[in-house]
Amino acid sequence: MKVIVGLGNPGAEYERTRHNVGWWVVDHLADVWRLDKWKKDGQALTTSGTVHGIRMRLVKPLTYMNDSGDAVQPAAAFFKLPPEAITVWHDELDLIPGRVRVKRGGGAAGHNGLRSIDRRMGSQDYWRVRLGIGHPGQKERVLGHVLADFARADQDWLVEMLGAVFLGVGTMFPGMELMIVAHIAVRVGDGDLIGVERVVRIGRTKHRHAPRQGECRNYHIHTHIFCPVC
């Protein structure tokens, strides 16, 4: 069994913020893998299913970012999973906008969600997929940066990054964390632009026929962020 965690904060006021980019990925995975409906389980929203013969459980903590470990550790303990069976998707200040990196283990690099998971799990030996959002330049501006909505100026690199991510994770075998690098480790200006444009075009077409927020988000969230209707 594999557990995939998307870090973020609950509540409509945080839905489009930089801190919630991990949530968007697991929302997309639940959609393309056709998993069960999301349901509340303890301090998280979860959904499960079998993908390519592997039992998958997706987790969105409802604890707020700083206490993410309170939602992740119970899932690992209940299924008696080792840390390496867990993959956490999260925003990363120390990567330039649009860059994606994968690693197993290591420090939290100041990310409070990872710190909480490290503390509650008693281990750092889990997988992390780091989605670059860039650093605002000054330490005192960090909180406002991660809790702010993505700006329209971010649209080009964000659509490219999430398009590459969605194309990669939707077709890869679950749990093959190292394969993510080949699929989606991109910089701004890199990547499969034809594929990304195809995803964006399909997403926008779908959106015109499904302007309600939920349908738009569940189809392609990267178009939802800049949706003039939603």
What's the pLDDT score for residue 118? 96
What's the pLDDT score for residue 67? 97
Tokens of 120: 């509650």
The tens digit of pLDDT for each residue in 5-53 reads 999 999 999 999 999 999 998 888 888 888 989 999 999 999 999 887 8
Residue 143 included in any domain: yes
Residue 196 included in any domain: yes
The tens digit of pLDDT for each residue in 30-41 reads 888 889 899 999
- Residue 89 burial (CB < 10 Å; 0-12/13-18/19+)? buried
What's the pLDDT score for residue 176? 52
What's the pLDDT score for residue 156? 82
User: Distance of CA 156 to CAs 26, 182, 191, Å?
Assistant: 21, 21, 13
What's the pLDDT score for residue 182? 44
Residues identified as active-site: 19
CATH number of the domain that 94 lies in?
Answer: 3.40.50.1470
Residue 127 included in any domain: yes
Helix (H, G, I), strand (E, B) or coil at 104: strand
Tell me which residues of the chain have a pLDDT lower than 70.
167-230
Domain count, the chain: 1
Cβ atoms of 44 and 75 closer than 8 Å: yes
Residue 230 included in any domain: no
Residue 68 included in any domain: yes
For residue 102, give the nearest of 162, 158, 179 by alpha carbon.
Answer: 179
- 121: domain range? 2-224
Phi, psi of 37 (to 5 degrees): -65, 150
Residue 229 included in any domain: no
State the number of CA atoms in the 13 A half-sphere of 7 facing the CB.
29
